[in-house]
Amino acid sequence: MTEQTTAVPETTGAPAVTPAPPAPKGRRGLRALLRWTAAVLAFAAAGTGAAYGITRAERSDLPGLSTRDDGRWTYPAVAKPTLAPGAAQPFAPDNKDGIHYAALTQLLLPAPEGSAPDTGLKLEKDQAVTVDTFLEEYEPTVRAKMKQGFTDDGLRQIAARGWTMPDGTRTRVYLLRFHSSGFVDAFEGCGINMNLNGINRIEGDSDWSKAKNEQDPPDLADVSLFTEAAPVGDEDLKAGCVKGGDIQAVVLQTRRGKVAAVPFHQTVILQDQLLH
């Protein structure tokens, strides 16, 4: 299997700060985690950055991911952002708060092969979305309070990417950058009590809990997955929440019928790895 090493281009919105040595290899059991999730991680020297190969793997220990034709998606290779000289990687010894010195566009998971862009997602320049656009994912009754919370609690910017797969699965990934990890911890818009638009109630993803219990993966304390509670209407929803230092990722997948567990778990885990 040939690994791609396509680099993510520079963006004009990145802060002028500098790159530090790569994060410690043992951080969060990176290799073991990606074996568990069926994604292959390949390290290759590329100037001051490390190239990540995020592709379809031959086999995996995750229940239900035993063969190549298990429903997982094929993601293109992405590159860990190259920082300006001297800037610390998130979670490096000199950056324990996990501040990301890269543009949000460089931290967004790319769309998988075979997908089409979500034309319904209102994007501004450089994948940015407004607060009002993001809040359209939530019930109208909570939007004003959430918007005020963003003003009070250090939200800096939001970026997003959306796509639709041939089977009708629609994915939207939002990255919310705050001034510090403390503001991320205080954000209540992604969790068991999130009031998503048109959804009566969500609950913990039982498939995710079962996989973690059976496989005992490396630390996943920053990842929480949820699914729409019954009764479900014509369209099913799953939600993933990832905390990564000063960034909160919100991953939403919807599909008429039922959202498949395998690509949903795969998508959330890969986005988690880009933030760590």
What pLDDT is attached to residue 105? 94
The two three-digit tokens of residue 242, written as one number? 């990832």
Residue 24: cis peptide before it, omega within 30 degrees of 0 = no
User: Is residue 3 in some structural domain?
Assistant: no
**37-41, 137-141, 213-217 — which is least confidently predicted?**
37-41
| Residue 44: Cβ within 10 Å count | 13
Cα angle for residues 26, 32, 38 (degrees, 5° grid): 140
Q: Which domain holds residue 271?
A: 27-275
- Only one residue has tokens 């949000």, namely 104
Tell me how many domains the chain contains: 1
**46-50, 132-136, 160-164 — which is least confidently predicted?**
46-50
Sign of CA dihedral 70, 6, 50, 109: negative
User: Is residue 67 in some structural domain?
Assistant: yes
Q: What is the mean pLDDT of the chain?
A: 79
Model confidence at 172, pLDDT cuts 50, 70, 90, reads very high
What's the rounded Cα separation, in Å, for the pair 243 and 143?
21
User: Is residue 214 in some structural domain?
Assistant: yes
What's the rounded Cα separation, in Å, for the pair 192 and 21?
37
What does DSSP assign to residue 127?
A: G
Residues 179-230 pLDDT 10s: 999 999 999 999 999 999 999 999 999 988 887 777 766 668 899 999 999 9
What pLDDT is attached to residue 209? 84
User: Is residue 143 in some structural domain?
Assistant: yes
